[in-house]
Amino acid sequence: GESVGLHLPTLSVQEGDNSIINCAYSNSASDYFIWYKQESGKGPQFIIDIRSNMDKRQGQRVTVLLNKTVKHLSLQIAATQPGDSAVYFCAESFSGTYKYIFGTGTRLKVLA
Amino acid sequence: GAVVSQHPSRVICKSGTSVKIECRSLDFQATTMFWYRQFPKKSLMLMATSNEGSKATYEQGVEKDKFLINHASLTLSTLTVTSAHPEDSSFYICSADRDSSTDTQYFGPGTRLTVL
């Protein structure tokens, strides 16, 4: 079936450095992509989203890049802080279905 | 904002009992809510889509009679785990679609269910 996957299960970065979390998706019909942050024992927190008619979108300290040619999504976090430590999930969706397919998740560890 | 709450946050029950979990959208109305299940260190698995005023749509492999979903109002959906068994122990998370034009789901804090 269709799936969303991540290349790195765990990413360790030094505080202050930039982080890049990658995600591959397989459903070429997906047109909406979202990044969530999940801290231990809590629900996912919306970070940023992007639609398939864009290839880049910026938020506060975060940027999402979408490469539809290779079906790749990435989340860039600038000046990573200890509070960024969490598991990050990408999700894909197709407009109108309201259903998300989540990736397997990447744990981000910020080293002091 | 788009705040979604869940109650209870944690529940421990004996095998064979039923447990009800509530999901509420606090500052918006949600025609559609979703129920997910998450195992430790795993991703979220969609269980069902809850539609206000109609029957829920269950994902393949999810037992309808086991996981009863009711979406009685635009701000409340409930998930009842019937005759719970230890294998039902999991982290249950709901989400709500605030605006159907954006497809963005906002998630609740989750409910940790432990069945003894």
Is the CB of residue B58 less than 8 Å from the CB of residue B36? no
Q: What is the mean pLDDT of residues B1-29?
A: 94
Phi, psi of B59 (to 5 degrees): -75, 160
Give yes or no for B44 touching A (CB within 8 A): yes
- What residue type is assigned to position A54 of the chain? M
**In the prediction, which pLDDT does A2 show?**
38
Of the candidates B4, B43, B112, the beta carbon closest to that of A103 is on B43
Give yes or no for B10 touching A (CB within 8 A): no
- Tokens 């880049």, residue located: A56
pLDDT tens per residue across span B21-55: 999 999 888 888 999 999 888 889 999 999 888 89
Is the CB of residue A104 less than 8 Å from the CB of residue A92? no
CA distance A36 to chain B (A): 10
Phi-psi region of A79 (alpha: psi -120 to 50; beta: other; left: phi over 0): left
Pairing of strands B19-25, B4-7: antiparallel
Question: Does residue A43 register a pLDDT over 50?
Answer: yes
pLDDT tens per residue across span B63-89: 999 999 998 899 999 999 999 999 999
Pairing of strands B57-58, B44-51: antiparallel
Q: Element (H or E) spanning B14, and its range?
A: none
- Cross-chain Cβ contact B110/A45 below 8 Å: no
User: Could you give the CA distance from residue A27 to residue A4 in angstroms, rounded to a whole number?
Assistant: 8
- Cross-chain Cβ contact A104/B42 below 8 Å: yes
